[in-house]
Structure 1
Amino acid sequence: MPDTQETDASTSRPADLGSTSAIGRRLKAYYDDVASEPVPDRFMSLLDALDAAEAKSKPREGN
């Protein structure tokens, strides 16, 4: 029977973090660019409609 060893994925680490660090920096820069873009008008309209629907469905206090 072959001898198998289980490895704990949470403790295994890549030997060289240079390439993953570069990838991480580029992903963060890309995310920052996307996050700084304005919210499209159509999406804002949908959010406003959702807020209005939620306000209608909530019971009013004092009634």
Structure 2
Amino acid sequence: MSKVKGYIDETVEEMKNKVSWPAYSDLQNSSVLVLIGSLIFALVVGAMDFVFDSSLSWFYNQF
């Protein structure tokens, strides 16, 4: 049990003193970029799905 407590204590110490945390404004900018990138990716995948669905439906209705 002492090994677990030591591990947790070392982890807390490292997170407090050794990790360089970004500024809040940097986090906001990164979050906005991730949101925009995710929306663009979702729109591209949705458009591809629509095109493939429409083209395959048209193709199968020809027979």
Do these two structures clear the TM 0.5 threshold for a shared fold by scoring above it? Answer: no
Bucket of the pairwise TM-score, normalised by the shorter protein: 0.3 to 0.5
Bigger share in helix: 2
Instruction: Normalising by structure 2, report the TM-score.
Output: 0.39
Instruction: Normalising by structure 1, report the TM-score.
Output: 0.39
